[in-house]
Chains A and B, each alone.
Chain A
Amino acid sequence: MILPTMTPSSGGPVPVDVHTKILGIETSCDETAAAVVVGGTAVRSSVVSSQVDIHARFGGVVPEIASRAHVDLLTPVIAEALVEAGLDGPDLDAVAATYGPGLVGSLLVGVSTAKALALVWDVPFVAVNHLEAHLYAALLEDPSLELPLVVLLVSGGHTMLISMEHHGHYRLLGSTLDDAAGEAFDKVARYLGLGYPGGPAIDRIAMEGDPYAIDFPRAMKGEGLDFSFSGLKTAVVNHVRKHPDASTADVAASFQEAVVDVLVTKARRAAQQIGAKGLVLGGGVAANSQLRERFLSACVSDGVHGFLPSREMCTDNAAMVASAAWYRLGSDGPSGLDCGADPNLRLPLLTD
């Protein structure tokens, strides 16, 4: 008999203020991270131990290898985060961890660790949705951002346009119908022999190429807020087959230009559509230089308050987990110690 996964149970809201100190833990994929954030926005420490080098030779994240590394790395990473923050465990007001979505074996290391720490220090445990944490990355760095916000969340697993109307209240405006943007970067980079991870590799070589050399298709650019990137990958493959001498830098730059063009166009459209006060980027692909540049200039010309979280805050980190936990603790309260991991967790979306 398989029992349904327990959703975090709520013990009622817990008052939070500018002094509330939360230890965040993030182990959903291949970054082992811990951070201490005070009052939801003041980052006292943020330690990230990346396993990128461990997985690079396999051309992608290997779940079992990631889980093994998390068990070895997490305790020292937490110790470092506490030392850097100048805090002792019992000084904390809560311990939070990502409980989904992500790789189940990796998530369980973080969740088990966080629950155990919360038990020893006798403080609340908060289970955090990884996607929600990404939404809070921008607010963490720029608390002056006003709601409603439109967040363009782009990573290896997700491509979403989300409106954040109130804290904890999200609406999905658009998402990818096939590949995530980051997935397209990885696949194209692998095809071009640029290695893994694909995002930074393409970003680098594209700087030497002509982004307008090849006019790759912009699927669904003209209308709506959904995305599709699988055709673009096929177009790159077909182009290289037909033109084996094409400069790799030009192909990479033109591919990147096509992705960025579609992402920025749709983000602007979304912000206009809901009358957003701000437009922000989040997720690993938001570290892409071309995307960052084009995004900011679009915000300036549209007169929207645009904000780009730092590269460290776009990629997976635990500060955003602690920040999201601060809001969750204040609105819903702690999670139960019987919480498990939910690898397929979705954002809690408004549907009306």
Chain B
Amino acid sequence: MLILGLESATAQVGCAIGGHEGVLASSHSARGKRHAENLTPAIRFVCEQARVELSEIACVAVDNGPGLFTGLRVGVASGKAIAQALRVPMIAVSSLDLLAFPLRFANRRIAAVIDARRGEVFWAFYRPVPGGVQRTTEPTVGTPEDLAADLLAQPGETLLCGDGALRYADRFDRPNLEIAGGDHAFPSARALVQLAHAKALREDWVRPHEIELLYLRKPDAEINWSTREGA
């Protein structure tokens, strides 16, 4: 079963194709915030590299957040359109899961941290389990200081990853904390295809209109509105 994975939740935009043979081809670019401009040509390129026709795709996987709203929607809108046109199911995987998954051999707690801009980060904790990682907390949004306090409350060693951890590295400068290097700055479309393949084997998929985005933040107007309403 061939899976097309589209990932655009951070400054990076990526696309990969794979299945039971692993990832056949992938493309990632992280320059200039040109998600919409880059993604469609990348899909065509990756298909050519993998010698796959789009009509052979059996499932479309997308990163459903949390992340930067506009970029996130470029990948999800593209993925929904492709799945609808091909009449195939979809799989949604959180950006934080994608960040943690490549660190599954780390042997300690993992904190996936994405830069949410405006002085905040999105994060979740994971523990390595055979064959992957298991999320132990719900994805959440807060300041780097909130996350630092969260980390302080937990004994043991934690490996942090993601552009949020790198950007606020000075807040996490403690002996039992380590930050994974630049290779782990962004969720990747390769990890998306790998994780989606496992889910696809369990037929753990949804139809395009059932995809839900993890925004974790209300639109500004709604925040102002609830303040005004006293709600």
Contact = CB atoms under 8 A, between A and B. Distances in A.
B221 interface: yes
Interface in A93-135: 104-105, 108-109, 111-117, 119-121
Interface string B213-224: 101000111100
Given A338-B37, A340-B36, A340-B37, A112 B220 contact: no
A120 B54 contact: yes
B219 A68 contact: yes
Contacts of A116: 40, 43, 77-79, 81-82, 85
Interface string B38-75: 11110110000000001100000000000001100111
A65 interface: yes
A71 B81 contact: no
A42 interface: no
Contacts of A6: 37
Contacts, number: 116
Contacts of B221: 58, 62, 64-65
Contacts of B222: 62, 65
Most buried by A among B43, B73, B213: B73
A121 B35 CA distance: 21
A341 interface: yes
Contacts of B43: 116, 119
A2 interface: yes
Contacts of A75: 80-81, 84, 208-209
Nearest to A57: B225
Nearest to A109: B77
Interface residues of A, number: 39
Nearest to B83: A75
Given A64-B221, A119-B40, A1 B32 contact: yes
A239 to B, nearest CB: 29
B70 A120 contact: no
A71 B85 contact: no
B37 A109 contact: no
Contact of B73 (A3, A108, A119): A108
B219 A337 contact: no
Contacts of A1: 31-32
A111 B34 CA distance: 13
Interface string A304-345: 000000000000000000000000000000000111110000
Contacts of B74: 108-109, 112
Contacts of B54: 119-120
A213 interface: no
B76 interface: yes
B86 interface: yes
Contacts of A78: 81, 84
B41 A3 contact: no
Interface residues of B, number: 39
A109 B39 CA distance: 13
A45 B34 CA distance: 33
A112 B34 contact: no
Contacts of A115: 36, 40, 78
A76 interface: yes
A67 interface: yes
Contacts of A113: 77-78, 80-81
A110 to B, nearest CB: 8
Contacts of A39: none
A106 to B, nearest CB: 9
Interface string A80-96: 00000000010000000
A57 B77 CA distance: 27
A287 to B, nearest CB: 25
A79 interface: yes
A114 B39 CA distance: 12
Interface of B: 31-41, 43-44, 54-55, 69-70, 73-82, 84-86, 208-209, 213, 215, 219-222, 225
Interface of A: 1-3, 6, 57-58, 62, 64-65, 67-68, 70-72, 74-76, 78-79, 89, 104-105, 108-109, 111-117, 119-121, 337-341
When A and B form their complex, which 4 residue pairs have the shortest distance between CB atoms, in order from nearest? A64-B219, A116-B81, A62-B221, A120-B85
22 contacts: A2-B32, A58-B225, A62-B219, A64-B221, A67-B69, A70-B73, A71-B73, A71-B77, A74-B77, A78-B84, A108-B35, A108-B70, A112-B36, A112-B75, A115-B36, A116-B43, A117-B81, A120-B55, A337-B40, A337-B41, A338-B41, A340-B36
